Amino acid sequence: MNYNTPKEITKEFAASGIYKSSLPLPKFTIIAILGGAFIAFGGLLSAMVAGGIPGIGATNPGIVKFVAGALFPIGLIMVSVTGADLFTSDCTAFTLPLLKKQIRWATFVKFLVLSYIFNFVGTQIVAYGMSSGLGYFSHEPWQTYLHNYSLGKVNQDWGTIFVKGIGANWLVCLGMFMGYSAKDIIGKCIGIWIPVMLFVTLGYEHSIANMFFIPAAIYSGAPILWSDFIVQNLIPATLGNLVGGAVLVGCVYWYLYLKD
């Protein structure tokens, strides 16, 4: 077969977590920074293209959502192909070996926290240094698009963002899962693209992506406080992402394919 079975995929996904937990801190730091940056590049591309077609959006808003959804997965494809690290997919990658008792709880928590912190560093490199700091969101129609998009994210109730966070990382981790099914680069890209396109088009909340979108809006003058970003969006999105990745993918596929 030119693809892996679900059981083989689950074993590969678990092996990725074991491999990352064996890396020295400097190497893990680098791949986590790269992971955040690559996701931010995907967000930047989607914002520049979807935000640049306001005329279409005025009459066909679903098309704009789909355009953003179709382009954003490029970031996760770069993460997967290059071996970068992403907190959200780690929610599955470290849950599988944890449940197999191949890593300890302390290792699970340590690497999720480190991944989250250094993903944030990577997203800020792009949010400020490679986009807002260069004036990408200082002009119309991109400023209005990004500001409205980010304001919409921070003006939701906690429960809504939490559930949207579950949906986002359920689909992101399924994207990584489907990517592991392929034994060629085209298959990997298609496997990742489908679920990630789905989560972005549906407007679910991905903590690492939001680390790009909302700070980029703040840097370009959006009326959003950092405290609002963290409390009203980032915390519930992160908790939802943890449930979506660790429970709905990690625990489920451990039970189906790895549990003795």
pLDDT in tens, 189-246: 999 999 999 999 999 999 999 999 999 999 999 999 999 999 999 999 999 999 999 9
Residue range 76-94: mean pLDDT, rounded: 98
d(CA 229, CA 61): 25
Residue of 201, 179, 233 whose CA lies nearest to 67: 201
- Cβ neighbour number for residue 62 with a 10 Å cutoff: 9
Indicate whether this model's pTM tops 0.85: yes
Q: Within the chain, how many helices (H) and strands (E) appear?
A: 15, 0
Structure tokens at 111: 């690497």
Distances (CA, A) of 53 to 56, 63, 64, 109, 252: 6, 10, 8, 42, 40
pLDDT at 260: 85
Structure tokens at 119: 């993903």
- Report the share of the chain in percent with pLDDT over 70: 100
Residue of 89, 238, 92, 83 whose CA lies nearest to 158: 238
Residue type, 37: A
Q: Which helix (H) or strand (E) holds 100?
A: none
d(CA 116, CA 141): 31
pLDDT at 81: 97
Q: For the residues of 54-96, what is the DSSP string, one character each?
A: HHHHHH-HHHHHHHHHHHTTHHHHHHHHHT---HHHHHHHTHH
pLDDT in tens, 3-16: 999 999 999 999 99
pLDDT at 2: 84
| Residue 182, beta-bridge partner list | 3
- Report the share of the chain in percent with pLDDT over 90: 98
Dihedral pair phi/psi, residue 169, rounded to 5°: -85, -20
Strand locations in the chain (E): none
* C-alpha neighbours within 13 Å on the C-beta side of residue 189: 9
Q: Are 106 and 36 in contact (CB under 8 A)?
A: no
Structure tokens at 11: 């074993």
User: Exposed, middle or buried, 61 (CB in 10 Å: 0-12/13-18/19+)?
Assistant: exposed
User: Exposed, middle or buried, 158 (CB in 10 Å: 0-12/13-18/19+)?
Assistant: middle
